[in-house]
């Protein structure tokens, strides 16, 4: 592995030069060239790399090249989808079944044939039972019929909107091999880290703290793809190092704003680099303050309202995100014209109001000016979540709340928040995935088991909200379903169940030799089969 760079080498070196900035999807006229290696910055090493179990972008970033979903998001495709392991999908009129036509001639990386049995196993044993998001979306899935090797029929106990299942195909339907997982402890199977899939790249090696290596799948079902020989994910926990590595030509691509926003103007002037602000439309992130409702002080609505009034959203957008974000009004982002509503309570920045609410709740300032103390855990995933954690500590101090920042790496943070509940408030970046039932209502639905990442693990429980979620999950009429989710937004914002601060996207910086970048709405977490590098 002599071509891989040491940490010291990656942290060294920089260059500067003339401007080249591309904010829209590039179209390339050159004929794709086969071969070559793509070196990519990676800032985390998930303990479980199986996307069928952990539907998160940190996992997808690597695993989506190896393990494929039934369909992927598309700028041009029907219903905004492009076929992958399924070539067609159709819902029944009663909402109780979805028929999937599966791709023929597909093999797993170990040579075994892919079939409907793999889809049935993945759906019933992994998505429904183990996946952080699938546990909700596929809760009513009772059976998967396999009339032949290339047909799978999902059967639901209650009417389930086809709109929801269709929207869930890219993020929630990664298919794993039944013959590898059946009869094992799925959660502990070694294939969760040494992946076996059907995708354009095979998992070759992971050296902790250094790199992941993927190699070309010579038996991929698309005989013309993939174009690259190898993809190397160079582990760079210090995200600021990605900019230096790009400038020095030591890596080829950095996604998910690995290059800090503050450096974009400078990076955009480096010859041979391009900046892409698209390719994330299907991955809108939300900067959220998650609140432990089991903490006495935080169980009081007035205290939660005070926290919201202490936050200056406009300042956050302008100063932390440098304008690459919008202030949030609630749990559905504004771009979603189907489900979004602005008819929700507005808790504007108002420190005086925050102080009055805290006084009214009985939490007077002591002689040192402190009302009470909280543990604040900023998610370590992005520079912006960590920076907002620092801002939030200061904002709360201004109204008499002493927030002690507890910093963890990714595995420790996920365990502390979503398994151990060892936090008072945390800064999280949940992803909105095109439908409230996929990754949004799970943040508010009560009764979820501990240990489910990116779900309601903070004790929020409102029977009326649970009922709205249940109704919408079974409503087949799309207009009525949208109305139910608008009621849901109003209810959870009124409760201050969470505090939605901002909604944001990312940028990708890449060498201009890397082609077919950002050509679908989930590009960073898609399979990169058509990505290639000019020699």
Domain boundaries, the chain: 34-47+199-281+506-533, 71-181, 284-504
- Is the pLDDT reported for residue 505 higher than 50? yes
Report the alpha-carbon distance of residue 268 to residue 484 in Å, rounded: 44
Tell me the C-alpha distance between 119 and 125, whole Å.
10
Phi/psi for 73 (5° steps) reads -65, 150
Give the confidence band of 26 by pLDDT, cuts at 50, 70, 90.
Answer: very low
pLDDT digits (tens, 9 = 90+) for 399-409: 999 999 999 99
pLDDT tens-digit series, residues 511-531: 999 999 999 999 999 999 999
Asked if pLDDT for residue 142 goes beyond 70, the answer is yes
Q: What is the DSSP string of 473-520?
A: HH---HHHHHHHHHHHHHHHHHHTSEEEEEEE---EEEETTEES-S-S
Q: What sign has the CA pseudo-torsion 408, 411, 413, 419?
A: negative
The CATH number of the structural domain formed by 71-181 is 3.90.76.10
Instruction: Return the higher-pLDDT residue of 10 and 508.
Output: 508
Q: What pLDDT does 368 receive?
A: 97
pLDDT surpassing 80 at residue 3: no
- Reported as a single tens digit per residue, the pLDDT across 32-65 is 999 999 999 998 899 999 999 999 999 999 999 9
34-47+199-281+506-533 is classed in which CATH architecture? 3-Layer(aba) Sandwich (3.40)
Which run of H or of E encompasses 226?
none
CA dist list (Å): 32 to 47, 254, 533: 35, 21, 8
Q: At what angle do helices 463-474 and 478-495 cross, to 10 degrees?
A: 160
Answer whether residue 239 shows pLDDT above 80.
Answer: no
Given 1.10.10.10, 3.40.50.150, 3.40.50.2000, 3.10.105.10, which CATH number is that of 284-504? 3.10.105.10
284-504 and 34-47+199-281+506-533 share a CATH fold: no
Overall size of the chain counted in residues: 535
Answer yes or no: are the C-beta atoms of 195 and 49 closer than 8 Å.
yes
Residue 455 pLDDT > 50? yes
Q: How confident is the model at residue 163 (pLDDT cuts 50, 70, 90)?
A: very high
Mean of all residue pLDDT scores within the chain: 91
Residue of 137, 138, 155 lying closest to 146 (CA atoms): 155
Whether 466 and 448 have beta carbons less than 8 Å apart is answered as no
pLDDT-above-90 percentage for the chain: 81
Residue 20 has a pLDDT of 32
> What's the token pair of residue 235?
């582990």
E-assigned strands of 54-96? 71-73, 81-83, 86-91
Strands 81-83 and 273-276, sheet pairing: unpaired
For residue 454, the model assigns a pLDDT of: 87
Average pLDDT over residues 269-279: 93
pLDDT tens-digit readout, 308-360: 999 999 999 999 999 889 999 999 999 888 899 999 999 999 999 999 999 99
């Amino acid at each position: 592995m002599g071509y891989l760079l040491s940490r010291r080498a990656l942290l060294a070196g920089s260059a500067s030069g003339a401007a080249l900035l591309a904010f829209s999807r590039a179209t390339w006229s050159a004929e794709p060239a086969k071969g070559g290696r793509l070196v990519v910055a990676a800032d985390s090493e998930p303990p479980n790399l199986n996307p069928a179990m952990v539907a998160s972008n940190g996992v997808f970033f690597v695993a989506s090249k190896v393990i494929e979903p039934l369909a992927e998001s598309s700028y041009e495709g029907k219903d905004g989808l492009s076929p992958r392991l399924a070539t067609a999908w159709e819902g029944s009129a009663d909402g109780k079944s979805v028929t999937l036509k599966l791709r023929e001639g597909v093999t797993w990386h170990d040579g075994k044939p892919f079939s409907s049995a793999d889809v049935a196993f993945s759906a019933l044993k992994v998505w429904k039972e183990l996946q952080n998001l699938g546990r909700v979306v596929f809760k009513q899935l009772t059976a998967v019929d396999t009339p032949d090797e290339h047909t799978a029929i999902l059967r639901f106990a209650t009417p389930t909107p086809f709109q929801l299942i269709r929207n869930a195909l890219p993020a929630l339907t990664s298919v794993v091999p039944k013959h590898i997982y059946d009869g094992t402890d799925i959660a502990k199977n070694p294939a969760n880290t040494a992946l076996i899939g059907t995708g354009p790249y095979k998992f070759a090696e992971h050296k902790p703290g250094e790199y992941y290596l993927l190699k070309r799948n010579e038996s991929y079902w698309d005989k013309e793809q993939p174009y690259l020989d190898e993809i190397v994910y160079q582990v760079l926990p210090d995200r600021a190092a990605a900019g230096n590595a790009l400038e020095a030509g030591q890596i080829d691509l950095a996604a998910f704003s690995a290059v800090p926003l503050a450096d974009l103007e400078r990076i955009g002037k480096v010859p041979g680099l391009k900046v892409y602000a698209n390719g994330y439309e299907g991955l809108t992130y939300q900067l959220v303050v998650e609140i432990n409702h089991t903490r006495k002080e935080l169980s009081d609505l007035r205290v939660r309202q005070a926290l919201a009034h202490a936050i200056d959203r406009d300042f956050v957008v302008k100063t932390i995100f440098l304008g690459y974000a919008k202030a949030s009004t609630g749990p559905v982002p504004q771009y979603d014209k189907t489900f979004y509503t602005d008819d929700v309570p507005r808790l504007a920045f108002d420190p005086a109001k925050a102080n009055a609410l805290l006084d009214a709740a009985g939490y007077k300032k002591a002689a040192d000016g402190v009302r009470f103390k909280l543990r604040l855990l900023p998610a370590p995933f992005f520079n912006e979540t960590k920076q907002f954690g620092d801002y939030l500590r200061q904002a709360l101090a201004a109204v008499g709340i002493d927030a002690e920042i507890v910093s963890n790496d990714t595995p420790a943070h996920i365990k502390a928040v979503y398994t151990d509940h060892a936090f008072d408030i945390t800064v999280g970046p949940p992803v909105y995935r095109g439908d409230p039932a996929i990754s949004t209502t799970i943040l508010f639905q009560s009764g979820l088991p501990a240990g489910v990442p990116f779900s309601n693990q903070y004790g929020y429980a409102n029977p009326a909200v649970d009922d709205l979620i249940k109704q919408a999950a079974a409503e087949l009429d799309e207009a009525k379903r949208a109305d139910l989710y608008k009621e849901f937004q109003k209810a959870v914002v009124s409760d201050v169940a969470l505090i939605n601060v901002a909604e944001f996207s990312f940028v990708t910086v890449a060498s201009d030799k890397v082609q077919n970048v950002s050509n679908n709405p989930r590009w960073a977490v898609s399979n990169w089969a058509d990505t290639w590098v000019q020699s």
